[in-house]
């Protein structure tokens, strides 16, 4: 059984893009890792694998300003934390 056929998945945070004055969160497909960088956050389905994407409650911008760290590992950790928040965010 392929359970992901009809179930929507939350997108995965890929990177954070710095704009002034806001900071945009870039996402990728949770199934095939295709970046939504170009398509933006309105894709209902992944154009590569057809995975339905659940954008409900998914932030497209960071609320607080984000100071990008020079340390790549810090940057990665921040993205990981963001992902954890998003993946468990809806079940309240």
Closer residue to Zn ion in complex, CB, 13/29 = 29
Cβ 10 vs Cβ 87: under 8 Å: yes
* The two structure tokens encoding residue 63: 């609320």
Q: Report the b/e string of 48-77 with b at 16+ CB within 10 A.
A: eeebebeeeebeeeeeeebeeeeeeeeeee
Which among 19-27, 43-51, 52-60, 74-82 is the span making contact with Zn ion, rule CB under 5 A?
43-51
CB of 31 to Zn ion, least distance (A): 5
Dist CA 11 CA 52 (whole Å) = 9
Task: Tell me the closest approach of the beta carbon of residue 46 to Zn ion, in angstroms.
Answer: 3
In the three-class reduction of DSSP (H, G, I as helix; E, B as strand; rest coil), residue 84 is classed as helix
Determine, following the binding rule CB under 5 A, whether residue 39 of this chain makes contact with Zn ion.
Answer: no
Q: According to CB under 5 A, which one of 32, 68, 69, 89 is a site residue for Zn ion?
A: 32
Q: Does 48 bind Zn ion (CB under 5 A)?
A: yes
For Zn ion, the binding residues (CB under 5 A) are: 29, 31-32, 34, 46, 48-49, 51
């Amino acid at each position: 059984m392929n359970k992901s056929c009809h179930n929507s998945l939350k997108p995965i945070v890929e990177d954070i893009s710095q704009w002034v004055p806001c900071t945009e969160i870039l996402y990728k497909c949770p199934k095939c890792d295709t970046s939504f960088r170009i398509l933006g956050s309105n894709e209902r389905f992944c154009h590569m694998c057809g995975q339905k994407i659940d954008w409900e409650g998914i932030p497209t911008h960071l609320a607080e300003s984000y100071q990008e760290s020079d340390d790549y590992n810090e940057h990665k950790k921040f993205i990981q934390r963001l992902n954890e928040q998003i993946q468990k965010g809806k079940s309240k």
